[in-house]
Amino acid sequence: MQPHVMKALQDWRAAWTVHERAAQDAMGIAFPALKPAVPPTGCCDVQMRWESPEGSGTACLDDHGRATIQFEDVPKDAVGQAMAEVFGVGWFEEGGDGLAGAEPGKYFWEDDSTYAEYEIDIGKDGLAQVAISYVKIEDIVTILDALETALNEARPI
């Protein structure tokens, strides 16, 4: 490879590493329970994990700069509050009370403009599984912040 091309590629890689770290920092600041996973993570170079009485899961950043979260056993009221704050009610065809008042089942929405996929699986136990894939960092940080706020409001003082 020509030296000037190799230098340009090295510069790009260095900038990408800064981008990955900034994305990881933003996700961790929005949702402080997320902690960096130790490589190898199995899928993405940037992966974070959390586990608490309020749920558990992972967040990762893929090689295209898109984030994916997979959270389990999160109180559906908090998920519903966060999704209503970010999207309003009705995007998931969940009814007039939003996801917080939705019946058990799977609720799905795909963003045709960004190709992001959102799936909320509400169980009979009042807990939800949240799978949000291929989302821009700005969007996932907004969602994580809304979920963190909803969980904080639900915690006893």
Model pTM? 0.91
Q: How many domains does the chain have?
A: 1
pLDDT value, residue 41: 61
pLDDT value, residue 13: 93
Identify the band that residue 40 occupies on the pLDDT scale cut at 50, 70 and 90.
Answer: low
Domain that holds residue 111: 3-154
Q: Map tokens 């590629």 to a residue.
A: 9
pLDDT value, residue 125: 95
Which DSSP letter does residue 33 get?
A: T
Instruction: Write down the H helix ranges in 90-136.
Output: none
Residue 28 has pLDDT above 90, yes or no: yes
Rounded Cα gap, residues 5 and 16, in angstroms: 16
- Summarised one tens digit per residue, pLDDT across range 71-114 is 999 999 999 999 999 988 887 777 788 888 999 999 999 989 98
